[in-house]
């Protein structure tokens, strides 16, 4: 994989077809979105090279997924940059700080690739923003692909203004409302988690990345205009851009979600079990590729699910390690016997299924038996739920997920939040789990939420059909790249 992409890219250039190079950050959610973009570009006749960076922390297994993509999409090649063996030391509790530094340390390897490939365009992830310096140096047009929604983009574009308005950290501001044009006011406690402390290296990394947003030739966003119309229109109007900075063109090209799921261990079991359940009867609980709960919280969820009497499919991961040295390691398989209340599996075997570590989320959400989704509010998960028309209970854990929860509940009205995740203890009680699951699956309010989600699903599919708002936007951009 490592050298082959240069060969494929230079061969494409020799044939008069300069490749588009996509540079995602290491997180699985970012990689998946960028690959979906690559598939669409490849289907439109553009050779695509996707750059892969290995971070010094666990992001989930990418090997089988990338192999499946390569086999099914001949127009896409992958180039894995040499691993940064000794990444720079960073003072941060957040893996995002390490991501920024690994990307920075990989710049010489990226420059070598781009010089050899002579790409028509470089498309970078937000975390890879420093790569735009290399693109400018080599005369390559540089674009962002923003893998979160337009409302988070509005926040990031406005972050330098917020930074200048106060010397306080978001954490110090408590429940004070943060006001950004085009999005609902939100309590400072719900700002993006790695930005809570100004003294953290992650904060510096994000602040630096925001300066690049206005240097790009355009920003593609994984959303569709009708889902986040107010935020999109506000960003496009320049109301989120700091004074003196230009606002690049914004292209809403989503929702881009996995077009196929590579079934891992246990995937077939999930889908076969769902086949035997009534339509819209199952609540699905899944919290992202790195989401973890304490043993105490796992027991509370179990007790709540049992008390709700609802059918459920629940992905359980092992709790995080108490050893700081293992913070970013791949967690072991969970010991369900030790984690779950005694007798829980036996008592719920007729209406529930607990799976270890992973489930084929896209296919589960698209299954007719699934009627609700308890989610960490990662943007890919949100879009998969919208595309499947499945209403959500919001339970944010990390990154920008608390912001997404505010937008989902207050602006889009496609989710209702569980209570307790934002307390000092951060514990959602069993009674709250039971009450919210029961509300979602069997109440008038839950039915109204489901109807709104089905309407959003229709808008999403309309946006992607030929001539739809997102399809036409991307088609026009590809035509621009071909003419350049």
Residues catalogued as catalytic? 30, 125
Task: Please list, residue by residue across 94-115, b when 16 or more beta carbons sit within 10 angstroms of its beta carbon and e when fewer do.
Answer: bbbbbbbbbbbbbeebbbebbe
Give the separation between CA 293 and CA 165, rounded to whole angstroms: 36
**Residue 246 buriedness (CB in 10 A; 0-12 / 13-18 / 19+):** exposed
Six-digit token string for 256: 């881009």
Six-digit token string for 247: 């606002």
Give the separation between CA 433 and CA 419, rounded to whole angstroms: 9
Give the separation between CA 239 and CA 362, rounded to whole angstroms: 35
Determine the straight-line distance between the first and last CA of the chain, rounded to whole angstroms: 29
Element of type H or E holding 135: helix 131-138
Using the structure block, give the residue that is written with the tokens 């490592």.
Answer: 2
Preceding peptide of 17 cis, ω within 30°: no
> Among the residues of 178-294, which ranges form H helices?
201-213, 229-236, 267-275
- Taking each continuous run of H as one helix and of E as one strand, the counts in the chain are 20, 15
What sign has the CA pseudo-torsion 221, 227, 228, 232?
positive
Give the separation between CA 66 and CA 81, rounded to whole angstroms: 15
Give the separation between CA 314 and CA 383, rounded to whole angstroms: 19
Q: Is 250 helix (H, G, I), strand (E, B) or coil?
A: strand
> Among the residues of 391-429, which ranges form H helices?
401-406
- Alpha carbons within 13 angstroms on the beta-carbon side of residue 95 total 17
DSSP string, 323-378: -GGGTTSPPPPP-HHHHSPTTHHHHTTTTEEEEES---HHHHHHSTTEEEEEE---
How many CB atoms neighbour CB 123 within 10 A? 28
What sign has the CA pseudo-torsion 87, 319, 401, 472?
positive
CB 240 within 8 A of CB 180: yes
Element of type H or E holding 453: helix 444-464
Using the structure block, give the residue that is written with the tokens 């609700």.
Answer: 372
Six-digit token string for 367: 């299954």
């Amino acid at each position: 994989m490592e050298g082959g992409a240069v060969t494929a890219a230079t061969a494409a250039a020799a044939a008069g077809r300069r490749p588009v190079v996509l540079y995602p950050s290491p997180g699985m959610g970012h990689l998946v979105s960028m690959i979906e973009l690559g598939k669409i570009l490849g289907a439109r006749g553009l050779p695509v090279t996707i750059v892969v960076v290995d971070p010094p922390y666990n992001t989930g297994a990418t090997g089988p997924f990338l192999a499946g993509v390569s086999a099914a999409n001949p127009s896409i090649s992958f180039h894995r940059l040499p691993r940064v063996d000794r990444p720079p030391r960073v003072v941060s509790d957040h893996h995002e700080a390490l991501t920024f530094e690994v990307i920075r340390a990989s710049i010489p390897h990226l420059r070598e690739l781009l010089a050899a490939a002579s790409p028509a365009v470089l498309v970078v992830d937000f975390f890879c923003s420093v790569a735009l310096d290399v693109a400018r140096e080599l005369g390559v047009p540089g674009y962002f692909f923003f893998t979160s929604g337009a409302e988070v983009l509005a926040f990031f574009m406005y972050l330098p203004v917020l930074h200048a308005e106060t010397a306080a950290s978001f954490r110090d501001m408590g429940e004070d409302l943060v006001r950004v044009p085009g999005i609902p006011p939100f309590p400072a406690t719900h700002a993006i988690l790695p930005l809570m402390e100004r003294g953290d290296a992650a904060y510096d990394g994000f602040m630096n990345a925001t300066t690049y947003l206005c240097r790009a030739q355009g920003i593609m966003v994984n959303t569709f205009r009708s889902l986040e119309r107010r935020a999109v229109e506000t960003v496009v109007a320049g109301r989120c851009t700091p004074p003196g900075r230009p606002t690049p063109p914004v292209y809403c090209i989503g929702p881009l979600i996995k077009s196929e799921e590579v079934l891992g261990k246990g995937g077939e079991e999930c889908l076969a079990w769902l086949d035997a359940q009534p339509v819209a009867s199952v609540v699905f609980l899944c919290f992202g590729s790195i989401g973890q709960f304490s043993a105490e919280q796992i027991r509370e969820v179990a007790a709540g699910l049992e008390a709700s009497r609802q059918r459920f499919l629940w992905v359980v991961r092992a709790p995080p390690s108490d050893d700081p040295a293992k913070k970013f390691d791949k967690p072991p398989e969970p010991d369900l016997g030790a984690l779950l209340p005694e007798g829980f599996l036996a008592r719920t075997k007729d209406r529930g299924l607990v799976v270890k570590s992973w489930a084929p989320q896209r296919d589960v959400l698209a299954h007719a038996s699934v009627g609700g989704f308890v989610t960490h509010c990662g943007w890919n998960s949100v879009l998969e739920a919208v595309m499947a028309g499945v209403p959500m209970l919001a339970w944010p854990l990390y990154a920008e997920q608390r912001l997404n929860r505010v937008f989902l509940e207050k602006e889009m009205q496609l989710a209702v939040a569980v209570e307790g995740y934002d307390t000092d203890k951060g514990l959602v009680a069993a009674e709250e789990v039971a009450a919210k699951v029961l509300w979602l699956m069997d109440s008038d309010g839950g039915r109204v939420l489901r109807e709104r989600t089905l309407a959003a699903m229709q808008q999403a599919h309309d946006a992607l059909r030929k001539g739809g708002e997102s399809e036409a936007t991307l088609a026009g951009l590809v035509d621009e790249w071909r003419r350049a």
